[in-house]
Chain A
């Protein structure tokens, strides 16, 4: 395998962006990521993005998105209708073939223009589940209940995650939900909206975009003083039906983490794509995190959740800390589908 590193990262997130369309959101983050990478835009070998038509409410969100990249002369380019973390995976594979040495990856989406929680119902089985229209929060609440029962936990354990996310969010300029004075009592004082979940346990509606530049070997070393090397990147999917999965654990995360080599790398920092408090607990179990590891120092998705970029941002947040010298190695996680159906694990490390 070729050594491939994250050499730059940029993102944006606001609760509701009424001033910009998707292309206008993409332009500044792509421009920043490309400028910081030090690789001229025309030299970037490959471009890959992640987005979801149903967020925009029209077909081909990515088609216009490409206008934000300046793809002229024409580029080697592809798109996944998945979180952009999987676009990064596709770009990593393209670099592994030897065809290209660098890639621009981006994701974007506006959740504020529709009802995200109901839109995501369209991910479910169209014949037997979608007609019942369970929202993504309804399904998450089922998983939270099952997990709390199995673990012998209660809502205090959820509140601990929510509080840490809000406090960590204060150090993140992109956080749309942050509070340095959040306490377990203040969270538990909020009403339960979807038993056992409160608003604080549910990722906030967020509009935004993110971009990462990947580079291989000597190119990465020549443009970045401390590249964040991808030591392992793996993803796995589980069965779709909630009734045929063990909702109290994330088996696909376990499989992906093992394949990515988690056992070989003591982790300084972990960024988890947990859109609900209980998802972070389930993922921490799957990754066997021991309590010493810094989880979601950015505040995680509970602080900012620009859907279709949230997973890519996890990779960017870990890489950023490695490049800044704040961490030696870390793990980034991305997820897709109801109740953590599909999961990606990326292990990053300094030289």
Chain B
């Protein structure tokens, strides 16, 4: 990885719920930030800069909300930035913040990502008709379902694969008290019998709409060495984007994702991700994206992702647990979901994942987020040991 060593030394997360009516937007982000600062053994005055990220402003109706949130996040008198890279934003915000430390600009950076979806309706917020543009067909599900069908056609995956992921991630979430969905009775039959939204996606194949926030404190090597709790060292971080309207794109297995993973693994010295990661927290908002991203991230050959899922390899007790926290399928504060992935990966290698802690062998974990029309990717590798 380029630049100075950087570590995650504090992680804070709100409980994710359908509607956090008990807090304002400022209260929501502050709840996560306070927990992260406490984890890092810091107070507001220790922080050099604040980087905030979230998905489209129309999800809450506040334009450039870093301005309104400057006070709540203790940023007054300090540098503050706002990142927005669509669904990948939680990941890219973490990376922008980490680069401030890697570049030697700052020693201690607080980064926060949030969404308070109950303030509006994301599906319709995504579906504003724009002049001269193809409509987004009623939200993200309408966009991604045809890509999923293309994946099924290419790979020959049987129809129940998505439902297996839907059950696996919801059962994992039962061990995560902060997860939005706790569905103790879920099984293959309930998913199959839930109503059809966008073929082949049924209601329970789809992520919830959540209010929630995630916060990380990032520190330089000197700061991390003195941190009260174990750091998660960043071994690599990468972002890639590709254009929307380009006939050469493969939206099912996007080049940007493959390039991003290749760059990331080169930085982190990863040659076999399935063997070298203890866990992966990957942006799976629709169940079928687990097998699709297994392939895109190089955990298996193209066309084989669904076989890993079917064999249980990605379950919490499998050889490569994916989304042991319950993942996006169990909590989806959109703008925060990427940072939740990055932060949950950090918690695993810090040994602080509570009841959903995986067994640490290599001490390395992957965080991934994607956004737009499968065109924006951000990823990082965190490790228990220094890179």
Bound complex: CA A104 to CA B134 (Å): 28
Which residues of chain A from 109 to 153 have any CB-CB distance to chain B below 8 Å in the complex?
A: 119-120, 122-127, 130
Query: Is A78's CB under 8 angstroms from B64's CB?
Result: no
Q: Mark A76-98, 1 if CB is under 8 A from B, else 0.
A: 11111110001001100110111
Q: Within 8 Å of chain B (Cβ to Cβ): is A179?
A: no
Q: Within 8 Å of chain B (Cβ to Cβ): is A57?
A: yes
- If A53-B57, A54-B58, A79-B83 touch, whether A237 touches B75 (CB-CB below 8 Å) is yes
Q: Within 8 Å of chain B (Cβ to Cβ): is A217?
A: no
Query: Is A81's CB under 8 angstroms from B240's CB?
Result: no
- If A60-B86, A79-B83, A79-B84 touch, whether A126 touches B243 (CB-CB below 8 Å) is no
Bound complex: CA A251 to CA B254 (Å): 46
- If A67-B244, A71-B243, A123-B63 touch, whether A89 touches B81 (CB-CB below 8 Å) is yes
Residues of A within 8 A of B181 (CB): none
Q: Within 8 Å of chain A (Cβ to Cβ): is B132?
A: yes
- If A63-B244, A82-B64, A123-B64 touch, whether A237 touches B79 (CB-CB below 8 Å) is yes
Residues of B within 8 A of A248 (CB): none
Query: Is B100's CB under 8 angstroms from A93's CB?
Result: yes
Q: Mark A210-229, 1 if CB is under 8 A from B, else 0.
A: 00000000000000000000
Which of A53, A78, A236 lies in contact with B85, CB distance below 8 A?
A: A78
Which residues of chain A from 167 to 183 have any CB-CB distance to chain B below 8 Å in the complex?
A: none
Q: Which of B101-109, B156-164, B225-233 contacts A (4 or more CB under 8 A)?
A: B101-109
Q: Within 8 Å of chain A (Cβ to Cβ): is B25?
A: yes
Interface range on chain A (Cβ under 8 Å from partner): 35 or more
- If A97-B2, A126-B62, A237-B70 touch, whether A74 touches B103 (CB-CB below 8 Å) is no
Q: Within 8 Å of chain A (Cβ to Cβ): is B44?
A: no
Q: Which residue of A lies closest to B257 (CB)?
A: A74
Residues of A within 8 A of B254 (CB): 74
- If A74-B255, A76-B239 touch, whether A93 touches B79 (CB-CB below 8 Å) is no
Q: Mark A26-66, 1 if CB is under 8 A from B, else 0.
A: 00000000000000000000010000111011111011101
Query: Is A98's CB under 8 angstroms from B67's CB?
Result: no
Residues of B within 8 A of A120 (CB): 63
Query: Is B79's CB under 8 angstroms from A77's CB?
Result: no
Residues of B within 8 A of A66 (CB): 241, 243-244, 375
Nearest CB in chain A: distance from B177 CB, A = 29
Q: Within 8 Å of chain B (Cβ to Cβ): is A189?
A: no
Query: Is A80's CB under 8 angstroms from B84's CB?
Result: yes
- If A74-B259, A78-B85, A82-B82 touch, whether A54 touches B57 (CB-CB below 8 Å) is yes
Query: Is B76's CB under 8 angstroms from A336's CB?
Result: no
Bound complex: CA A149 to CA B125 (Å): 44
Bound complex: CA A338 to CA B63 (Å): 12
Nearest CB in chain A: distance from B244 CB, A = 6
Bound complex: CA A194 to CA B350 (Å): 57
Bound complex: CA A86 to CA B372 (Å): 22
Query: Is B67's CB under 8 angstroms from A240's CB?
Result: yes
Query: Is A64's CB under 8 angstroms from B3's CB?
Result: no
Residues of A within 8 A of B55 (CB): 59
Q: Within 8 Å of chain A (Cβ to Cβ): is B327?
A: no
Q: Within 8 Å of chain B (Cβ to Cβ): is A266?
A: no
- If A66-B243, A98-B2, A255-B77 touch, whether A56 touches B82 (CB-CB below 8 Å) is no
Q: Within 8 Å of chain B (Cβ to Cβ): is A70?
A: yes
Q: Within 8 Å of chain B (Cβ to Cβ): is A320?
A: no
- If A239-B76, A341-B70 touch, whether A76 touches B240 (CB-CB below 8 Å) is yes
Bound complex: CA A229 to CA B255 (Å): 35
Residues of A within 8 A of B76 (CB): 237-239
Residues of A within 8 A of B3 (CB): 96-99
Bound complex: CA A238 to CA B254 (Å): 41
Which residues of chain A from 224 to 260 have any CB-CB distance to chain B below 8 Å in the complex?
A: 234-241, 251-252, 255
Query: Is B103's CB under 8 angstroms from A96's CB?
Result: yes
Bound complex: CA A95 to CA B66 (Å): 24
Q: Within 8 Å of chain B (Cβ to Cβ): is A19?
A: no
Query: Is A338's CB under 8 angstroms from B67's CB?
Result: yes
Residues of A within 8 A of B385 (CB): none
Query: Is B81's CB under 8 angstroms from A77's CB?
Result: no
Nearest CB in chain A: distance from B70 CB, A = 5
Query: Is A119's CB under 8 angstroms from B63's CB?
Result: yes
Nearest CB in chain A: distance from B94 CB, A = 12
Q: Within 8 Å of chain B (Cβ to Cβ): is A157?
A: no
Bound complex: CA A76 to CA B242 (Å): 9
Name 25 A/B residue pairs within 8 A (Cβ), A-sorted. Answer: A53-B57, A56-B130, A57-B130, A59-B58, A63-B244, A66-B241, A71-B242, A72-B242, A76-B241, A77-B376, A78-B239, A80-B82, A80-B84, A81-B64, A81-B83, A90-B83, A90-B96, A93-B96, A93-B100, A96-B104, A97-B2, A122-B57, A237-B70, A237-B75, A240-B70
Identify 12 new A-B residue pairs, CB closer than 8 A, beyond the known A59-B126, A74-B240, A241-B71.
A60-B56, A64-B245, A75-B241, A86-B82, A97-B102, A125-B68, A130-B62, A236-B78, A237-B66, A237-B70, A237-B76, A238-B77
Give the interface of B toward A (CB within 8 A). Answer: 2-3, 24-25, 55-64, 66-71, 75-86, 92, 96, 99-100, 102-105, 125-126, 128, 130-133, 238-246, 248, 254-256, 259-260, 372-373, 375-376
